[in-house]
Amino acid sequence: MASVASQVVLHPVTTQSLKVLSTTIGRDKLYRGIQYFARFFAWLLLSRGYKIQAARWDALKSHLALGRKLLRLGKFMENAQAVLKALNAPGDTGERITAIGRQLGYFGYLSLDNIAWANAIKFYNLAPSTAQKINKRIMQFWFTGILFSLAHGLLKAGRLANEVKKLQNQTWAEKSLEAERDLKLQNLQVAREAVRYQFIMDVLDVWIPATNVGLVNLNDGVLGIFGLITSLMALRQQWLAAGGKK
């Protein structure tokens, strides 16, 4: 038994899992996945008439959402830094503008999210109408940030596709130059995969704030599935990073 326990505790999967969960973002993505699964499952139970069981999962969803707000305290400063870096960064003007718009959207979202958390734990009391306005504004900022992220992804994907096409059409007489071209193509393909991956996540996530601000009307079952998928995709990125892969 001791040998089996040692194999489980010291297994590489266990070690890598601990690396993921030792980071704030790793824990956040795990909690987010459970939160959105709970949202979906509560909707499913409620739609079938299991009100008591649904209330249990709905409570789990609400508490995880509140707990994740604590993990995001001060995170808006990362977006503020990203805005300043994007302002001075070289490169395509459209990509820079959309990158700035994305970071400003997330900056507004996370800044107000901190205020919403303080109100939720009754550290700072807001009038119900004010709290409602702030929560709506949070969703509007989140929605705006994702829209800019989608636009950024499209622009960057187009630029990378053009660079790949340009390199593929070039011919090299020397093998060393051809090897250099192949390396550049490989790096471009990796970058394109990363852009596509983020684009898929944004396409799924955008429906959550869009529903909360009243632009569309998707039910909690659909939004729960979308949130669960993007949470698992983000958690996969953290898993690969912990394993030394990208």
Mean local confidence (pLDDT), 93-111: 97
Could you tell me the residue ranges of all domains in the chain? 1-71+219-245, 73-215
Tokens of 194: 């990363």
Q: Dihedral of CA 211/35/28/223: which sign?
A: negative
* pLDDT tens track for 168-182: 887 766 666 777 888
Choose between 173 and 97: higher pLDDT.
97
Residue environment code for 37-48, b if the CB has 16+ CB neighbours within 10 A, otherwise e: bbbbbbbbbbee
Percent of the chain with pLDDT over 70: 96
Q: What is the pTM of this model?
A: 0.91
* pLDDT tens track for 51-67: 999 999 999 999 999 99
For residue 197, pLDDT beyond 70: yes
Q: Identify the pLDDT of residue 167.
A: 85
Q: Identify the pLDDT of residue 245.
A: 66
